[in-house]
Amino acid sequence: MTPTETSRWPAEAETLLDDLVDLRRAIHREPELGLQNPKTLAKIKDALAGLPLEFREGPSTTGLVAILRGGLAGNGGNARTVLLRGDMDALPLVEDTGLAFTSETSGAMHACGHDTHVAMLVGAAKLLCAARDRLPGTVMFMFQPGEEGHHGARFMLDDGLIDPLPDAAFALHIMPNAPHGIFAGRAGPLLASSDVLSITVKGAGGHASMPQDAIDPIPVACAIVTAIQTMVTRRISVFDPAVITIAKIAAGTTNNIIPETADMQGTIRTLSPHRRAMVAAELRRLVPAIAEAHGCTAEVAIEEGFPVTVCDSRAAAFGQRVVEETFGEAAWLTMDNPVMGAEDFAYVLEKVPGAMFWLGASEAGSDWRQCCGLHSNRMVLDEKVMARGAALHAALAERFLNEGFA
């Protein structure tokens, strides 16, 4: 395919923008959490009604895979399959944006842009269905709930909704505090693994006026926090990093009682399986030893979250070419470093070569550095970028079906 052929997608996507905005706002008004998003699923099905798509659903989630079989797919059994993914679920936040279409669901908000991800993927489905006759392969549109810590992608894989596996997989994620309309990506680790760390330090309670007759777990917990940060700076290479954050410490009931226990919670983020395993082993060695040195005991629990999101080098280079040919060279930014957040698209990329790309969604002409970021209850974005996202989804799919990663 030539740059001229791929560059038609933005204009075609612009004709869908009003519909994408309406869908995004409808989803934004009724955000849903976790693995069960029935209202969002109903809106997706309604938006896809009448298109030449096959639907797959599974028992574990309200996820949906819509399959488009191209008119040229019967190419001697050599036709390719490409997957495009958009996540569906919201976050447990109280929205404070003042938008006319603000969340009507108490304690839930689309603060990570998943409402736009769904709308862009629906737009791509409409674009590609209209081009069905010239597609030499199959497109899988993966609408996935449970991304916000609920392992939705893993459940959909386990339910067999993506069998047989596609030849490539791509996803887009909006970034409200990034330059308007810019696509960004990189080969290798794009996002970190994320595990939950829980520590309980047990001492002996007593009267606050007589600490010598008790074993106070609070200063021991503080010592453990300091020791963890020392471990990060002295045991872990900056070239294969880890970020360990203790975000919560809870102990005691009042001002004059030394408590028996102190509980801590936090997260562990790494960029390689090796570092992930090493950090877990070090924490299980270090934390009980610090506690024992002070006459306490400590229990360490690590709940594994998402793995590292690793972009295939061929897929990342392919994405850059498609962006530059579709929107111009100025539309692409190669990232120097990964983002230490986490994404469960990582489960797909463990099994299928592919990549995720960021799409800058700050208001056109604004100072994007001043915009609220993802997971802020004040996050807003420029909806016009959704046409660009839908266009890139379509361009990636068509180009891959025709040429692979070449």
Nearest to 33 by CA among 122, 147, 120: 147
Q: What is the pLDDT of residue 340?
A: 94
What single-letter amino acid sits at 333?
L
H or E element that contains 86:
strand 81-87
**Phi–psi pair at 370, nearest 5 degrees:** -95, 0
Asked which of 23-32, 139-148, 249-258, 365-374 is least confident by mean pLDDT, the reply is 365-374
Count of Cβ atoms closer than 10 Å to residue 256 Cβ: 9
Q: What is the pLDDT of residue 310?
A: 98
The strand pairing partners of 175, in sequence order, are 360
**Which pLDDT tens digit goes with each residue over 139-184?**
999 999 999 999 999 999 999 999 999 999 999 999 998 999 999 9
What single-letter amino acid sits at 321?
R
Is the pLDDT at 93 greater than 70? The verdict is yes
CA distances from 138 to 162, 165, 238, 260, 322 (A): 12, 11, 42, 60, 19
Asked which of 34-38, 77-81, 112-116, 187-191 is least confident by mean pLDDT, the reply is 77-81
d(CA 139, CA 69): 7
All domains in the chain, ordered by first residue: 3-191+308-403 (3.40.630.10), 193-303 (3.30.70.360)
Nearest to 359 by CA among 115, 127, 179, 119: 179
What single-letter amino acid sits at 77?
G
**Which pLDDT tens digit goes with each residue over 383-395?**
999 999 999 999 9
Average pLDDT, integer, range 213-222:
97
Count of Cβ atoms closer than 10 Å to residue 274 Cβ: 10
- Residue 371: pLDDT band (50, 70, 90) is confident
Q: What is the pLDDT of residue 76?
A: 52
**Angle value at C-alpha 162, between 160 and 168, nearest 5 degrees:** 150
What single-letter amino acid sits at 279?
V
**Which pLDDT tens digit goes with each residue over 54-76?**
999 999 999 999 999 998 866 55
Average pLDDT over all residues of the chain:
95
Nearest to 277 by CA among 187, 151, 193: 193
CA distances from 95 to 11, 90, 92, 100, 109 (A): 33, 11, 9, 12, 6
DSSP string, 286-338: HHHHHHHHTT-EEEEEEE-----EEE-HHHHHHHHHHHHHHH-GGGEEE-SS-
**Which pLDDT tens digit goes with each residue over 302-312?**
999 999 999 99
- Residue 2: pLDDT band (50, 70, 90) is low
